[in-house]
Structure 1
Amino acid sequence: MKNIVLSNKTYKLEHDPYIYKLQDVEEPELFREMFPYTETPKVAFNYRRVPENMAEDIFITDTTFRDGQQSRSPYTTEQMVHLYKLLHELGGPNGMIRQTEFFVYSEKDRKALEKCMELGYKFPEITTWIRASKKDFELVKSIGIKETGILVSCSDYHIFNKMGLTRQQALDKYLGIVSDCIEAGLRPRCHFEDITRADFYGFVVPFANKLMELSRESNVPVKIRACDTMGYGVPYPGAALPRSVSGIIYGLQHYSDVPSEMIEWHGHNDFYKGVVNATTAWMYGASSVNCSLLGIGERTGNVPLEAMVFEYASLRGHLNGMNTQVITEIAEYMEKETGYKIPPMTPFVGANFNLTRAGIHADGMMKDPEIYNIFDTETILNRPPKVSITNTSGVAGIAFWVNDHRKHLGLPELPKTDELVKKMYEWVSSEYESGRITMITDEELIKKYAEISE
């Protein structure tokens, strides 16, 4: 047996990697020191750092119609079709939003899926998420789907405490299900649920090895979706498994030979790390990150799709054909047509994301919008910067609002010393001197501007 081999990945001599075998333990490994439950979870470090290995082709996949529907009232068929069209437009001609997944159990979801397929878009490719049964495999195959997600929970919390199985029993069950999926003519996408609480070398790697063997034997690609189901993943270099995002991605590649294009990261935002964990997964070798529009999903939500659009642009220096102005269109549609209320402070889509209240900020914005605006939001998102009018707005804030309004009316700008601006400021001041404590609305300002302009 060779101990040292030339790697076809790094082109360096490496020790022949250890082949991990399933560790069929009698008691579940719950990592109680990391996850004490009655205390906050702990982040342990072993200082083992793995190399960054970003794939040449990185992209986004979507779960708006699957995970995104599990924490809100269901979308109508018409809403799903419209949002699918917007995803297609946002992702652009190069398929940056590569796939989106649907449920197929209700008539409404199946109808939406079929109507979306009738559009004939190459991207996003429509996939499904189903129960692991032959009946469901035949159902999605008859619809014309080529890839489907299969739940294969991999932590002992799920294997022992939820399903009542041993690791060997779970492994055998999962491999049988995946074989049935391949036999039905479908590409399996294996959802490694709760991977950030799983025994990585005792179950995850041996299971991934078996899946890659099955893939080679059948000549069918088997995708692994690494699911940070509870948001426990951390991006820190040197963090210990099972919480290390970089360690998980590196381990799947190095010990199980899973190619980048077959690794997908699916994160949640329970500890505010959804976006940075997804970016870390990209940087260490996962080709795709799974997201939902506006981050809507289980509990604290999924990775916001619009966030990863800008993460991609930041890392690669271009948008690769993505149309970012569609993000604003999506946000407006979600609020007006689906009844979802976007928290106003939400980056890129919230009402206040490029709005300033302080008068000193407004004064800076009048001189140069770049001082207080993160980028040219008007060009990139079709959202010009705005100010809200309160008791702290000052003359500069009033002048900014007046000139923004006049721009929409096709009128020239006015200096903040103009009589009209002064009268607007005097009216605002009188409102707060009279005891008002709320923000003055655009409707009130437009009405007062019209009165003063007459």
Structure 2
Amino acid sequence: MYNYTLENIKQPNLYKNIFPYDEIPKVVFNGIQLPMDVPENIWITDTTFRDGQQSMQPFSVDQIVKIFDYIHDLDNESGIIKQSEFFLYTEKDRKAVEVCMERGYKFPEITSWIRANKNDFKLVKDMGIKETGMLMSCSDYHIFKKLKMTREETINMYISIVEEALKNGIRPRCHLEDITRADFYGFVVPLVNRLMDMSKESGIPIKIRLCDTLGLGIPYGQVALPRSVQGLVHGIKNVCNVSDENIEWHGHNDFYSAVNNSTTAWLYGASSVNTTLFGIGERTGNCPLEAMIFEYAQIKGTTKNMELKVITELAEYFRNEIGYNIPVKTPFVGSDFNVTKAGIHADGMLKDEEIYNIFDTDKILGRPIVVQVNQYSGLAGIAAWINTYYRLKDDNKVDKKDSRVLEIKKWVDDQYKMGRTSIIRNDEMELLVKKIIPEVLEKREERAS
């Protein structure tokens, strides 16, 4: 195998043919089709308390602990959410970590994140954490423009901090920042090869996190480096001989590709993908944790014993306790994600909810389908609202041909004839049903008892 050596160039390679800056970045194709290589075991890691938290008002200690408990309950000892990483810089952060460590949970394991310097490393040692991430910027944008160093000086700095970790028996997780703009063979491969040599000598695994810092990764095939997610993962695994379980993808969503890129990383050899709850994070955010749970379910055909209804509880906690505004159309967690407004869709719901619902959202997420009533709902929409809102099943369902449904529709139509522009609220519909079809409430009470 070819031995790649560091190219200690004097001028940075900024790939201006791909990233001209005054234009939208380009996709360059190389015609090379790489084989899929799905690891036997894949999992999710969480950075809500690190990358996610730094993009919004910091959480309190109580909020961190509560969210950590929720993530544990969601995982439910399945090991699908394997780790969660924390900052250690403030007294508040360290207190939160202490309380979370006292919980004694196996999953998610608590890890930390530091910059590549020995002062930061002391924090990890003092807390007794067994694994830490450490920042290793690897594109020439960062090496030359931010660090103001040469490639050789940069690698030597990174190696020294990893040596310090290994001396203390702590697993290093190397965050290769901005890898989708980095010189893969001239810098990344020589760095990772040295890290793998150190891992072999010490007997301590060294993890490689591929950080798509600006969301520039491209998931589809035959794309040239440095933007190819397939190429990056395949190269780290096969050129640098990094094992599946020690490869992790960390992606941002600047080009709407965070989920696709993370899934692609799984499919081409990375066991781990890094996420945040609801995709919170810098700029457009990180890859959403809840999205990757459903990607995992589709790839593996199971979520083991996870408690997926906790996703709904977490969303409610973020809305009500943290004041975070989850966009209403967000899949799985937005208030409108399974809400039907179109009359023709509502008509399908009346016949069989499987026609227009992605899966049994009530059973899996505790989110029954909802139909909103407006000027376009028609008889089918009103009947569907009644059946879904009151969770009426089988013979208890109200038919759209019921004359009482027509009476409600006339009231709705009159509202819009008088100039109304807003939807009909649920409380208004409740009053109408109570007045016109009171037995619906009786049926609901019978079902509840």
Shorter-chain TM band: over 0.9
**Contact kept in structure 1, 2:77 and 2:106, CA below 8 Å:** no
- How do 1:420-431 residues align onto structure 2 when only pairs under 5 Å count? 420-431=404-415
Q: Which residue of 410, 433, 436 maps to 2:420? A: 436
The answer as to whether partners of 2:138 and 2:188 remain within 8 angstroms in 1 is: yes
Contact residue 137 and residue 184 of structure 1 kept, 8 A: no
CA RMSD of aligned residues (A): 1.6
Shift in Å, 1:408? 7.7
Residue 453 and residue 415 in structure 1: after superposition, are their counterparts in 2 closer, same or farther (change >3 A)?
closer
1:251 aligns with 2:235: yes
Match of 1:328 among 312, 323, 340: 312
Determine if the alignment matches structure 1 residue 310 to structure 2 residue 310: no
The answer (yes or no) to whether the contact 1:406–1:413 under 8 Å persists in 2 is: no
CA distance in 1, matches of 2:320, 2:99: 22
Q: 1:408 to 1:416 in 2, by over 3 A?
A: closer
Partner of 1:172: 156
> What residue in structure 2 maps to residue 143 of structure 1?
127
Distance 1:125 1:282 in 2: 20
Cα distance in 2 between the residues matched to 1:386 and 1:406? 10
1:73-125 deviation per Cα after TM superposition (whole angstroms, max 9, x unaligned)? 11111111111111112122221100000111122211111111111100000
- Name segments (4+ residues, structure 1) moved above 4 Å: none
Contact 1:406 1:412 in 2 (8 A): no
Once the two structures are superposed, what CA deviation does each residue of 1:212-239 show, in whole Å capped at 9, x if it has no partner? 0111111111101000000000011110
- Counterpart amino acid of residue 306 in structure 2: M
- Taking only the aligned residue pairs, the percentage that are identical comes to 55
Distance (Å, rounded) in 1 between the aligned partners of 2:10 and 2:130: 38
Q: Give, in whole Å, the separation in 1 of the partners of 2:429 and 2:25.
A: 49
Query: Paired residue for 2:442?
Result: none
Partners of 1:46 and 1:238 within 8 A in 2: yes
Distance 2:55 2:119 in 1: 27
Match of 2:380 in 1: 396
Residue 63 of structure 1, CA deviation: 0.4
Whether 1:209 aligns to 2:193 is yes
Q: Secondary structure at the match of 1:190?
A: strand
Cross-structure match for 1:72:
56
Question: What is the aligned partner in structure 2 of residue 384 from structure 1?
Answer: 368
- The equivalent position to 2:338 in structure 1, one of 354, 357, 381, is 354
User: Does the 8 Å contact 1:270/1:299 carry over to 2?
Assistant: yes
C-alpha separation in 1, matches of 2:36 and 2:258: 19
The DSSP-based 3-state class of the residue aligned with 2:196 is helix
Amino acid at match of 1:51: P
Contact 2:233 2:270 in 1 (8 A): yes
Partner of 1:227: 211
2:105 to 109, 118, 121: 121
8 Å CA contact 1:138, 1:184 repeated in 2: no
Letter in 2 for 1:414: V
The amino acid of 1:280's aligned partner reads: T
Letter in 1 for 2:18: M
**1:363 counterpart = 2:347:** yes
Match of 1:12 in 2: none
Report how far residue 433 of structure 1 moved: 0.7
Contact between 2:88 and 2:94, CA under 8 Å: does it hold in 1?
yes
Cα separation, 2, equivalents of 1:256 and 1:406: 58
Alpha-carbon distance between aligned partners in 2 of 1:38 and 1:131, rounded to the nearest angstrom: 31
Asked whether the 8 Å contact 2:348–2:356 carries over to 1, the reply is yes
Residues 180, 226 of structure 2: 8 Å contact kept:
yes
- DSSP-derived class of the 2:432 partner: helix
What's the counterpart of residue 21 of structure 2?
A: 37
SS in 2 for 1:70: helix
Q: Is 243-252 or 312-321 further displaced after alignment?
A: 312-321
Give the superposition deviation at 1:435: 0.7
Structure 1: gaps (5+ residues): 1-16
Residue aligning to 1:340? 324
1:448 and 1:76 mapped to 2: Cα distance? Answer: 44
Q: How many pairs are equivalent?
A: 438
Deviation of the 1:268 alpha carbon = 0.5
Aligned match of 1:448 in 419, 432, 439? 432
Q: Please tell me whether residue 61 in structure 1 is matched to residue 61 in structure 2.
A: no
Q: 2:30 aligns with which of 46, 52, 61?
A: 46
Q: How far apart are the structure 2 equivalents of 1:32 and 1:405?
A: 55
Paired residues of 2:36 and 2:268 also in contact (CA < 8 A)? yes
Shift of 1:380: 1.2
Deviations along 1:394-445, one digit per CA (max 9) or x if unpaired, are 1111111122333389x93322233432222111111111111111221222
- Counterpart of 2:204, as a letter, is V
Q: Is the 8 A contact 1:402 1:421 kept in 2?
A: no
Give the Cα–Cα distance (whole angstroms) in 1 for the partners of residues 173 and 304 of structure 2: 26
| Post-superposition CA distance 1:255-274 (Å, at most 9, x none) | 11111111000001100110
Q: The residue matched to 2:407 in structure 1 has which SS?
A: helix
Distance 1:160 1:133 in 2: 18
Instruction: Answer yes or no: is 1:184 the counterpart of 2:165.
Output: no
Counterpart code for 1:158: H
Q: Which residue of structure 2 lines up, in the alignment, with residue 4 of structure 1?
A: none
CA contact (8 A) 1:365 1:372 kept: yes
